[in-house]
Amino acid sequence: MRKVEIFDSTLRDGEQAPGFSMNLAEKLSMARMLQALNVDVIEAGFAACSQGDYACVKTIAEEIRGVSVASLCRCVESDCDIAWNAIRGAERPLLNVFIATSDLHISQKLHSTREEVLKTVARVVSYASNLCPDVEFSAEDATRSDREYLLKVFKTALDNGASVLNVADTVGYIQPEELKDLITFLKAGLEGGRPFKLSVHCHNDLGLATANTLAAIEAGADRVDVTVNGIGERAGNASLEETVMALKTRRDVYGCTTSVNTKLIVPASKKLVMLTGVKVQANKAIVGKNAFAHESGIHVHGMMADRRTYEIIDPEDIGLTESKIVMGKHSGRHALEERLAALGFTGLGKEQVDALFEKFKLLAEAKKIVSDKDIEALVKAEILDFSGEFRLDKYIINSGNVLSNTCNIRIVKSDGTAFEGFATGEGPIDAAYNAINDALGKDAKLLDYMIESVTGGTDAQGAVSVKISIDDKIVKGYGVNVNIFEASINAYLNAINNR
């Protein structure tokens, strides 16, 4: 079967969307997951965008192997220089150079002309090709461009060293049949020149990103841009899980395959949720919690007779498994390692597993039975690392409907220095956060607070995600504990440590 390459933009287009930002440690953790997922290309970021993005791209390029690592760059020589310096340590580096090609963008955004854009493409793609052996040229807003002019731009990029040509449906405007026709037109017009791959980058503004991506594949696209959980600017991008599983489930229609290890699709989705704190909607295709849930009597009866009556995908094919092993205080380290591997948490170092096992035993003493979701919460806490500059030592909270909400707290710095604070608040959490500010002399402000139960039952762990403003920065924090006050305090301190 024809192989379609998967270009994953979770760490670039996905991460730049509001609410999905990740720090270096989080990006590297997700990159390792994408490496295990076996995508063909990881777009690690936009290196010229900021020093933080540059550091992330460079770190990922130097560590991740067996997959191409790309950086986005504008059609500007200086962007290419910065991006190349960031990705040159990759096993297979890729420069992804873009410029707008629609008349609307050329006139209103670039304040340029078609002729000037052609000259820029020729000059910069040639420059990039002399730096990097693999250059992708992306036409921004390609689907609203004059197709004859778009063909001319692509020929120019190809003649100047581009190896991949990308059609970007930047605002999710095109319809499947239109895109199919456009891809057919471009492939025919570019035949006979240098060898190249044709790819598409579809946005979901009209809810058609995956449908458009599949239509492009039908027309012969060689590579497709996707993101885990379909995250991205505005309404998001084509979803990795939907695209890959559509190709696998309907091979009779598409006649294509990918290199993706589908058994890691659910673990990858869960890891992204863990790192960003943004949940997937319940009815999300493939990875939503209701995707394999059945309540209707007719459906349940059919499922009991034959799973295929109402499920076209085997849950195990995407890594959706239920533990048949009860994890508790008598479970050993080996059992925990086996469960971590089954849940898709690979690449953890010995020190991380040691720390996880200690936290697992403590939790098992408190909870008796530890669920998969409890283990996932422990892994997230370990990934985010609460051993930053400040850690909680002890606290006392007083709260009730006949007394003031107060908090006494003691925080210890990494050098051993202790800080004590006291404050009142509108509620116990407000009092605790005011006490932390008092102890550390900070003026942090809480912008967002989210709490959820990791599992059901009265002994459930509480997971708290916060977003705070501190030192002119907006940072995220996460905490998990069976005591919701302690989870909230740890989340706030984690955010301060991430500043």
Taking the C-alpha atoms of residue 162 and residue 158, their distance in angstroms, rounded to an integer, is 5
Q: What share of the chain is helix, strand, coil (3-state, %, to 5)?
A: 45, 20, 35
Task: Tell me, yes or no, whether 442 lies in a domain.
Answer: yes
Q: What is the DSSP string of 319-344?
A: T-----S-EETT--HHHHHHHHHHTT
Q: 339, 359, 384 — which closes off a domain?
A: 384
How do beta strands 92-100 and 164-169 pair? unpaired
Same domain, yes or no, for 80 and 148?
yes
Q: Residue type for 308, please?
A: R
Task: Tell me, yes or no, whether 312 lies in a domain.
Answer: yes
Q: Tokens 């992306």 correspond to what residue?
A: 138
- Check which CATH number belongs to the domain holding 116 and give it: 3.20.20.70
Question: 218: helix, coil or strand?
Answer: helix
What is the extent of the structural domain holding 86?
2-276
Same domain, yes or no, for 254 and 140?
yes
Task: Please give the DSSP secondary-structure letter assigned to residue 97.
Answer: E
Are the C-beta atoms of residues 450 and 484 closer than 8 Å to each other?
A: no
* Secondary structure (H, E, C), 151-206: HHHHHHHHHCCCCEEEEEECCCCCCHHHHHHHHHHHHHHHCCCCCCEEEEEEECCC
Same domain, yes or no, for 341 and 298?
no
Task: Look up residue 471 and give its two tokens.
Answer: 């030192």
Taking the C-alpha atoms of residue 444 and residue 128, their distance in angstroms, rounded to an integer, is 44
Domain count, the chain: 4
Task: Tell me, yes or no, whether 63 lies in a domain.
Answer: yes
Task: Tell me, yes or no, whether 285 lies in a domain.
Answer: no
CB atoms within 10 A of CB 415: 6
Q: What is the rounded (10 degree) CA torsion for 236, 241, 244, 248? A: -140
Indicate if the alpha-carbon torsion angle 14, 20, 26, 30 is positive or negative: negative
Q: Residue type for 385, please?
A: D
Q: 357, 384, 411 — which closes off a domain?
A: 384
* Cα-trace Rg, the chain: 25
Task: Tell me, yes or no, whether 187 lies in a domain.
Answer: yes
Same domain, yes or no, for 345 and 299?
no
Same domain, yes or no, for 114 and 150?
yes
Picking from 499, 483, 12, the residue whose alpha carbon sits closest to that of residue 232 is 12
Same domain, yes or no, for 34 and 135?
yes
Q: 242, 276, 310 — which closes off a domain?
A: 276
Picking from 98, 81, 91, 76, the residue whose alpha carbon sits closest to that of residue 47 is 81
Task: Tell me, yes or no, whether 365 lies in a domain.
Answer: yes
How do beta strands 418-425 and 405-413 pair? antiparallel
CB-facing half-sphere around the CA of 66: CA atoms within 13 A = 11
Longest dimension (CA), the chain: 83
Same domain, yes or no, for 161 and 216?
yes
Same domain, yes or no, for 300 and 378?
no
Same domain, yes or no, for 373 and 452?
no
Q: Residue type for 306, please?
A: D
Task: Look up residue 125 and give its two tokens.
Answer: 């793609």
Task: Tell me, yes or no, whether 271 lies in a domain.
Answer: yes
Same domain, yes or no, for 310 and 348?
no
Taking the C-alpha atoms of residue 463 and residue 378, their distance in angstroms, rounded to an integer, is 10
Question: 306: helix, coil or strand?
Answer: coil
Indicate if the alpha-carbon torsion angle 224, 226, 232, 236 is positive or negative: positive
Give the H or E element holding residue 383.
Answer: helix 372-384
Task: Tell me, yes or no, whether 194 lies in a domain.
Answer: yes
Q: Residue type for 74, please?
A: R
Are the C-beta atoms of residues 26 and 57 closer than 8 Å to each other?
A: no
- Check which CATH number belongs to the domain holding 470 and give it: 3.30.160.270
Same domain, yes or no, for 206 and 69?
yes
Same domain, yes or no, for 312 and 353?
no
CB atoms within 10 A of CB 498: 20
Q: What is the rounded (10 degree) CA torsion for 263, 239, 167, 251? A: 50
For residues 266-301, one letter each, b for 16 or more C-beta atoms within 10 angstroms of the residue's C-beta and e for the rest, the string is bbbbbbbbbbbbeebeeebbbbbeebbebeeeeeee
- In tens digits, what is the pLDDT along the chain, a chain of 499 residues? 899 999 999 999 999 888 888 889 889 999 999 999 999 999 999 999 999 999 999 999 999 999 999 999 999 999 999 999 999 999 999 999 999 999 999 999 999 999 999 999 999 999 999 999 999 999 999 999 999 999 999 999 999 999 999 999 999 999 999 999 999 999 999 998 889 999 999 999 999 999 999 999 999 999 999 999 999 999 999 999 999 999 999 999 999 999 999 999 998 998 898 888 788 988 899 988 777 664 445 554 554 556 667 677 887 788 776 554 567 777 888 888 877 877 767 667 788 888 888 888 888 887 777 877 778 777 766 665 545 789 899 999 999 888 899 999 999 998 999 999 999 999 999 999 999 999 999 999 999 898 877 766 666 777 888 889 998 888 888 888 888 999 999 999 988 988 7
